[in-house]
C-alpha cells in the first residue's frame, strides 16, 4: 500500500475521543485500522520523518504494576508525537487509597489530555474512563492487555504476511489477560485460536461464548485442548507467557509449575508446527537463570527453564524482540488515533 493510500485510511477512520480499554469495544475494521496505522507510524520513524502531530498535549501514566516495555513504549511514543509525559509509579498516586478512582480521574482529567492505567482489576480502568473526560488507555489489567494485541497482530502481519486464517496456539495459563486478549483478537480478526493447557486453566466460559459469537461472523475458530500434539500441529504461531507472578505463595507456584510443565514451549513443540511458524512471548520470559525470579524458582523447585526453553527463545523462529519493539509503534498509533485534536 502506498503512503498516500495509508494517509487516506487514517483520515477515514475517526476514533478521536475513544477510550482503549479492551478489544471487545472495537470492530474488526477499527482493529485493522490501528494495525495499519501502527505500520505507517513505524515506517515514518524508521525513515526519520517527523510526526509530532500531538505537540503540546500532556498525558499521565499510572502504573500500579511496573513494566519496562509498557512504560518505555508510552514515553517514547508520546515524545515522538510531541507530547509531555508525567509518570506516576505505584507510590506516586493515591488512587483507590486516599482518593477514590472517580475523584482521581476527575482531577487528572482536568490536567491531562489522556491517561494510561496499568494495574489490577478491569473495573478500575473502566471507572477511570467513566469519569476522566479524556481518553483512557489500558496498559494492562488482570483481565485484558489490549495494547499488546495491536503489537502482536502487527508482528504476525510482518512475518507471515496475513492475519486471517492464521492458526495461533497459546500454551500455558489461559485464564487471564494474555489468554483472554489473544482469544478476543483472533475472534475479531478471523484467526484460528487454540488454548492448549490443562482444563483448569481454560479461559472463562462466558468470555469464550462471547468470542464464539464473534467468530461466527468473522470466520474465526476457537479450540480448547489439553493435547499438545493436536494443538501445535500445523500452527503458524506458538505463543506463551509467564507461569508465575511475584507475591503468590510457594504452594501456588508449586502446583502451577507441576500443572503447566507439559505445556512448555520447546523444540519438540515447535517441530509440530509449520516450518514457517514463529514463536511469540510478551516478555519478560523465564528461559534461563539470569534473573532473580528464575534463580529463585530453580532453587525452590529445580526448574532451569519455565514456559519456554532457551533453545526456542534464542532460535531463528523467535520474534519476541520484534514484538517488543512493536509495542511502541502500536501504542503510538492508539494514542494518535484516539486523542482529540
* 106 labelled catalytic: no
Q: Of 118, 175, 287, 329, which one is the catalytic site residue? A: 118
- Cα pseudo-dihedral 29, 33, 36, 38, rounded to 10: -140
Q: Of 145, 281, 287, 329, which one is the catalytic site residue? A: 145
Lay out the sheet containing 84-88: strands in order across.
Answer: 84-88, 58-63, 114-118, 136-140
- Helix 320-338 to helix 146-160 angle (10° resolution) is 120
Q: Are 132 and 109 in contact (CB under 8 A)?
A: yes
Q: Of 148, 157, 264, 317, which one is the catalytic site residue? A: 148
> What are the start-end ranges of the H helices in 115-242?
122-132, 146-160, 177-188, 205-218, 228-232
* 118 labelled catalytic: yes
Q: Are 162 and 129 in contact (CB under 8 A)?
A: no
* 241 labelled catalytic: yes
Residues 6+ apart with CB under 8 A from 111: 58, 60
Q: What's the CA gap between 336 and 305, in Å, rounded?
A: 39
Q: Of 36, 69, 281, 327, which one is the catalytic site residue? A: 327
* 145 labelled catalytic: yes
Q: What's the CA gap between 235 and 154, in Å, rounded?
A: 18
Q: Of 241, 264, 281, 287, which one is the catalytic site residue? A: 241
* 36 labelled catalytic: no
Cβ atoms within 10 A of the Cβ of 89, count? Answer: 12
Q: Of 18, 282, 317, 329, which one is the catalytic site residue? A: 282
Residues in the chain: 341
Known catalytic residues are: 118, 145, 148, 241, 282, 327
Amino acid at each position: 500500500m502506498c503512503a498516500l493510500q495509508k494517509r487516506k485510511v487514517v483520515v477515514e477512520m475517526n476514533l478521536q475521543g475513544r477510550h482503549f480499554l479492551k478489544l471487545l469495544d472495537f470492530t474488526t475494521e477499527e482493529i485493522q485500522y490501528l494495525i495499519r496505522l501502527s505500520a505507517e507510524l513505524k515506517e515514518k520513524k524508521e525513515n526519520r520523518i517527523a510526526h509530532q502531530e500531538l505537540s503540546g498535549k500532556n498525558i499521565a501514566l499510572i502504573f500500579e504494576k511496573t513494566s519496562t516495555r509498557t512504560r518505555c513504549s508510552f514515553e517514547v511514543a508520546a515524545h515522538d508525537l510531541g507530547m509531555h509525559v508525567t509518570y506516576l509509579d505505584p507510590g506516586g498516586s493515591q488512587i483507590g487509597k486516599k482518593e477514590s478512582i472517580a475523584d482521581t480521574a476527575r482531577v487528572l482529567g482536568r490536567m491531562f489530555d489522556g491517561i494510561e492505567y496499568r494495574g489490577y482489576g478491569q473495573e478500575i480502568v473502566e471507572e477511570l474512563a467513566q469519569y476522566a473526560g479524556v481518553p483512557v488507555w489500558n496498559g494492562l489489567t488482570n483481565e485484558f492487555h489490549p495494547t499488546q494485541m495491536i503489537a502482536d497482530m502487527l508482528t504476525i502481519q510482518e512475518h507471515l504476511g496475513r492475519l486471517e486464517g492464521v492458526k495461533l496456539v497459546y500454551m500455558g495459563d489461559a485464564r487471564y489477560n494474555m489468554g483472554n486478549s489473544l482469544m478476543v483478537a483472533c475472534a475479531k480478526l478471523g484467526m484460528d485460536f487454540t488454548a492448549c493447557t490443562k482444563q483448569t486453566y481454560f479461559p472463562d466460559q462466558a468470555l469464550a461464548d462471547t468470542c464464539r459469537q464473534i467468530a461466527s461472523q468473522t470466520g474465526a475458530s476457537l479450540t480448547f485442548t489439553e493435547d499438545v500434539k493436536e494443538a501445535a500441529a500445523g500452527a503458524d504461531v506458538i505463543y506463551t507467557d509467564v507461569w508465575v507472578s511475584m507475591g503468590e505463595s510457594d504452594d501456588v507456584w508449586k502446583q502451577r509449575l507441576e500443572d503447566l510443565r507439559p505445556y512448555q514451549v520447546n523444540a519438540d513443540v515447535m517441530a509440530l508446527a509449520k516450518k514457517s511458524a514463529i514463536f511469540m512471548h510478551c516478555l519478560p520470559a523465564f528461559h534461563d537463570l539470569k534473573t532473580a525470579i528464575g534463580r529463585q524458582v530453580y532453587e525452590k523447585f529445580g526448574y532451569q527453564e519455565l514456559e519456554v526453553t532457551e533453545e526456542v527463545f534464542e532460535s531463528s523462529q523467535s520474534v519476541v524482540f520484534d514484538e517488543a519493539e512493536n509495542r511502541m509503534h502500536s501504542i503510538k498509533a492508539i494514542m494518535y488515533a484516539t486523542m482529540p485534536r
